[in-house]
A and B are shown apart, each in its own frame.
Chain A
Amino acid sequence: MNRDAEAALLVGATVIASLGVGLVNLAQGGTFDAQVALTFFVFAAAFGALHVALRRWAPAASPYLLPLGSVLAAIGFVEVYRIDPHFAGLQRWWLLIAAGLATLLLALFRNTGVAPLRRYRYMFLAAAVGLLMLPMLPTSWGFPVRGVIVNGSRLWTTFTLGPLRLNFQPGEIAKLALVVFLASYLAERQPALAESRKIGKVTVPEPRHLIPVAIASIAAFGLLVSQRDLGASLLLFAVFVTMLYAATERTAYLAVGSSMFLAGTAAAAFTFSHVARRFEAWLRPFADPADTGYQILQSLFALGSGSLSGSGLGVGTPDRIPAAWTDFIFSAVGEELGLAGSVAVIAMYALLVAVGVGIALRSRDLFRKLLAFGLAFTLGLQSFLIIAGVTRLLPLTGITLPFMSYGGSSLVANFLILALLARISHEERT
């Protein structure tokens, strides 16, 4: 694999996106139209720019990252287009913006590498906390930035400027900032955190180092309470605990962290009706098929109807799944592309994680290693949680499927992850 092969694969993804749009048109009685050409040019521009940026500023970067991301984005885009062409039109803009920001990031780090990120770690912490607080803003007040309640969860923020109204999920960007902060903080404090003390025959971490874990647990629980959604808090807390574990090699952090989170979740399930309903829907979806179980059943019906080879693009009825263009995009793909499509998508996420983890394993610098690991883990865990949610392996949580779901904040965050991983892999080979 080299940059030329990468270019060829990116052309492939561009063709998949535009031909997919054409197929959807045909299936719905239309024909190849401007949408096909527009999709081709947008994908060509977005991934072409990133590819050229890699050639110029990170020529030794792993060539696997962009093709995987682009094919996932192509499949997701076609399905979003199939469900609602209006969202697809917006998604094309978001693709350009996300690719533009990722290109910009590669340009900024062309000489320095990712090292500057390390220096401003508390800025990132502040950004993460600030972003996470945004959805808790009042839903109607004078300030143009307001919280929004979607499906009972407070994950969204709206920004209004005259006629322009922009909804975004700050959590998507916050998780990125948090990973950067954690990588930097842990790289700095690693020796101290790894200290241990023997109590009797058991080796435990220094109790004072457990304080940050406790704080993070409380923060995650606070997040869960305020946003009333398991997904974001579980994701952030898991990223925190695993990075701590990776840095210190102390299994105790994992054990303490996960038991605290489980206890918190159980408490939430008993205390908050919204969380309880998610559990109820997970355990007994058929108990109340028209209400509690509705979402998950529609998802399962779509997947089951898709069967082995799927209904074909544009021929199924994924529009019957609620939120099919965001959280449930996987079910929509599963219906129209069948088990073949589902397996391909899951395999690509697994490959992406493998590439990311490989970069982390090869990193010689502690910060870059932790950063690469944190980014790959975030990507992998988020993909797993939402796919597990819509396939009823785990209770459903309100998070997006990286690269595939409709949504600007999600696309931007995940393209930045790709750019950072690419930059880190470049630095290990030069």
Chain B
Amino acid sequence: MNGPIRRIAGFLFIAFGLLLLNVTYIQAIATSKYRDNPLNPRVAASISGKERGLIITADGTVVARSIADPDDPSRFTREYPEGSVYAPIVGYSSLLFGDEGLERVYADDLRSRRDLTLSDVINALMGRDLRPKSLELTIDNDLQQTAFDAMGDNTGAVVAIDPTTGAVLAMVSTPSYDPEVMLAPNATELRNALLDDPEEPLANRAVSRTYPPGSTFKVLVASSAVENGIAGPTTTFDDPLEFPLPGSTSTIRNYDRGPCGDGTTVTLSEAFRKSCNTIFATLGLQVGAQSLYDTAVSFSFDEPMRFDLPTQQSFFPDPSDLDGPALAQSSIGERDVRATPLGMALVAAAIANDGNLMQPYLVSRIVDATGETVSQVTPEIRTTAVSAATATIISQMMEEVVASGTGTRATVPNVRVAGKTGTSDASSGSPAVWFIGFAPVDDPTIAIAVVVLNGGEDATGGSVAAPIAGQILGHWLQP
């Protein structure tokens, strides 16, 4: 009777073999069918996870927090009370998609360390505090909300900086998204819709995109000319109708297709106020590729930008790539010149701060669970872009732009505002239109860059970006 016993045992072993195949199928092959099924309560719970620290603004507004699950106090749901206003900065934390924004960069501080990794166990046994830490931002919530509202339906970005410290006071990128969609039961579907959106709502345009700076780049050309003793505000230039590009039949013209002044001669100051391309093309050639490049670098172009969020570099071409026509076009912020809104805000901030460009930062303090400060940022000078004397001269010219030039719509009553507009050359569609500036001129507390990308074919920095900047500056200076 050992025969039947062997046969029955054989059947049992085949049955166990089927079990092995079946669990392998479920747990190794068709895993995602079950793991990521919307009916799986873990998908909803993946939203919730371990506790993470708070993220609060400089004035104490909570922009990210963890709420304990009433059924299971060891699980937490992440909430973003200010939603899309802060999404480009704060990002989100999702078990499905990983972390983004500050949630990603500061994940090690924000997350609870009670994760059962070997080092966590050792730390726990040594009595270290494993609770999550909190971030305090430099953002002023009022200003952030104002900037977000001022942008309205525009596509673009706003960066406001305290020029004396480098603290970012506001950073807006529109259109934005609600970070809580990443935690919704149908998050995959909603996220795919955001990824497919041609408006790129998931991008932080303030730091991760570069645009042609247009005439705002004239601030750097003028700075370079003054710093190198090539021209001053009262230096006069011939005022032609157009500037012929060397060795080419094309020309550079002014925005209104006319001469800059009366067609005879014009001062640098007037050319800056009216943003005359003809004069700045001439000036760029006088300054020379190497000097202009050096000035751009001193304003943090072509340099890796250390910042709390992943940031693109602003770009100015290598002098060896700049022949005459290229240099002339680059001098009006066209051709291959590209800048991030953060980069242009730093340019304005450097002029505002006597030529000292401060290292920008977004997180001012990291605080542990007991409220003790773990680390705190001390403002530091990143580069000296120009001398204080040069900065003063450029500042005066920028003040005239707002007082009676292209930037009058950025005016704030009873406040001296300095600025520069910019409108990139768009062969089709909307140009990138800019306003960069700072205020009050005698003791600046805010420097700003506004860029709008969908103002329409006729949009200019003066007509579209300057009013937005004026609104934001007005709110900051006249609360």
Q: Are B5 and A357 in contact (CB under 8 A)?
A: yes
Q: Mark A378-389, 1 if CB is under 8 A from B, else 0.
A: 001100100110
B3 CB-CB contact with A under 8 Å: yes
Give the chain B neighbours of A289 by CB distance below 8 A: 39
B121 CB-CB contact with A under 8 Å: yes
Q: Are A304 and B16 in contact (CB under 8 A)?
A: no
Tally of contacts, chain A with chain B, CB under 8 A:
130
Q: A361-B5, A369-B1, A391-B23 are in contact. Are A305 and B34 (CB under 8 A)?
A: yes
State which residues 14-42 of B face A: CB under 8 Å: 15-16, 18-20, 22-24, 26-28, 30-35, 37, 39-42
Give the chain A neighbours of B41 by CB distance below 8 A: 298, 301, 317, 320
State which residues 95-150 of B face A: CB under 8 Å: 114, 116, 121, 124
**Binding-face segment, A55-63, A135-143, A342-350:** A342-350
A247 and B3 CA atoms in complex are apart in Å by 10
Q: A304-B27, A306-B27, A339-B24 are in contact. Are A384 and B16 (CB under 8 A)?
A: yes
Closest to A306 in B: B27
Q: Mark A324-357, 1 if CB is under 8 A from B, else 0.
A: 0000000000100011001100110110011001
A246 CB-CB contact with B under 8 Å: yes
A72 and B114 CA atoms in complex are apart in Å by 28
Q: Are B12 and A384 in contact (CB under 8 A)?
A: yes
B74 CB-CB contact with A under 8 Å: yes
Q: Mark A244-263, 1 if CB is under 8 A from B, else 0.
A: 01110100000000000000
Interface size on B, residues (CB 8 A): 38
A167 CB-CB contact with B under 8 Å: no
Q: A377-B12, A381-B12, A384-B19 are in contact. Are A334 and B27 (CB under 8 A)?
A: yes
A247 and B1 CA atoms in complex are apart in Å by 6
Give the chain A neighbours of B9 by CB distance below 8 A: 353-354, 357, 376
**Which of these, B5, B19, B40, B124, contacts A388 with CB under 8 Å?**
B19
A106 CB-CB contact with B under 8 Å: no
A232 and B3 CA atoms in complex are apart in Å by 27
Give the chain A neighbours of B74 by CB distance below 8 A: 28-29
Q: Are B8 and A242 in contact (CB under 8 A)?
A: yes
Q: Are A304 and B39 in contact (CB under 8 A)?
A: no
Q: Is the interface of B mostly helix, strand, loop or mixed?
A: helix
B6 CB-CB contact with A under 8 Å: yes
Q: A305-B35, A317-B41, A369-B1 are in contact. Are A346 and B26 (CB under 8 A)?
A: no
Closest to A298 in B: B41
Q: Are A31 and B124 in contact (CB under 8 A)?
A: yes
A373 CB-CB contact with B under 8 Å: yes
Closest to A250 in B: B4
Closest to B15 in A: A384
State which residues 357-412 of B face A: CB under 8 Å: none
Q: Are A304 and B12 in contact (CB under 8 A)?
A: no
A26 and B34 CA atoms in complex are apart in Å by 28
Give the distance to chain B from A209, nearest Cβ to Cβ, in Å.
16
Closest to B34 in A: A304
A303 and B6 CA atoms in complex are apart in Å by 32
**Which of these, B12, B15, B28, contacts A307 with CB under 8 Å?**
B28
Q: Are B13 and A339 in contact (CB under 8 A)?
A: no
Give the chain B neighbours of A301 by CB distance below 8 A: 34-35, 37, 39-42
B2 CB-CB contact with A under 8 Å: yes
Q: Are B4 and A246 in contact (CB under 8 A)?
A: yes
A180 and B294 CA atoms in complex are apart in Å by 96
A392 and B140 CA atoms in complex are apart in Å by 56
**Which of these, A26, A29, A320, A343, contacts B121 with CB under 8 Å?**
A26
Q: A304-B34, A315-B116 are in contact. Are A249 and B1 (CB under 8 A)?
A: yes
Q: Are B39 and A297 in contact (CB under 8 A)?
A: yes
Give the chain B neighbours of A26 by CB distance below 8 A: 114, 116, 121, 124
Q: A317-B41, A317-B45, A361-B6 are in contact. Are A307 and B18 (CB under 8 A)?
A: no
Give the distance to chain A from B303, nearest Cβ to Cβ, in Å.
43
Closest to A356 in B: B9
Closest to A366 in B: B1
Q: Are A23 and B124 in contact (CB under 8 A)?
A: no
Q: Are B22 and A393 in contact (CB under 8 A)?
A: yes
A284 and B24 CA atoms in complex are apart in Å by 21
Interface centre among A298, A320, A357, A381 (most CB of B within 10 A): A357
Give the chain A neighbours of B15 by CB distance below 8 A: 384, 388
Give the chain B neighbours of A27 by CB distance below 8 A: 116
Closest to A351 in B: B16
Give the chain A neighbours of B45 by CB distance below 8 A: 317
**Which of these, B26, B32, B35, contacts A391 with CB under 8 Å?**
B26
Closest to B39 in A: A289
A133 CB-CB contact with B under 8 Å: no
Q: Are A246 and B8 in contact (CB under 8 A)?
A: yes
A357 and B45 CA atoms in complex are apart in Å by 45
Give the distance to chain A from B176, nearest Cβ to Cβ, in Å.
32
Give the chain A neighbours of B13 by CB distance below 8 A: 350, 353-354
Give the chain B neighbours of A320 by CB distance below 8 A: 41-42
Give the chain B neighbours of A381 by CB distance below 8 A: 12
Give the distance to chain A from B201, nearest Cβ to Cβ, in Å.
30
Q: Are A304 and B22 in contact (CB under 8 A)?
A: no
Q: Are B12 and A343 in contact (CB under 8 A)?
A: no
Give the chain A neighbours of B27 by CB distance below 8 A: 303-304, 306-308, 334, 338-339, 342
Give the chain B neighbours of A376 by CB distance below 8 A: 9
5 more A-B contacts (CB under 8 A) besides A320-B42, A354-B9, A360-B5? A301-B37, A304-B32, A305-B42, A346-B16, A357-B6
Chain A residues proximal to chain B, CB less than 8 Å? 23, 26-29, 31, 242, 245-247, 249, 286, 289, 297-298, 300-301, 303-308, 312, 315, 317, 320, 334, 338-339, 342-343, 346-347, 349-350, 353-354, 357, 360-361, 366, 369, 373, 376-377, 380-381, 384, 387-388, 391-393
- What are 17 inter-chain pairs, A to B, with CB distance below 8 A? A26-B114, A242-B4, A245-B4, A247-B1, A249-B3, A301-B41, A301-B42, A303-B23, A307-B27, A307-B28, A343-B23, A347-B20, A360-B5, A361-B5, A361-B6, A366-B1, A384-B15
List 10 tightest A-B contacts by C-beta distance, closest first: A304-B34, A339-B27, A301-B40, A357-B9, A350-B16, A304-B35, A342-B23, A246-B4, A380-B12, A305-B35
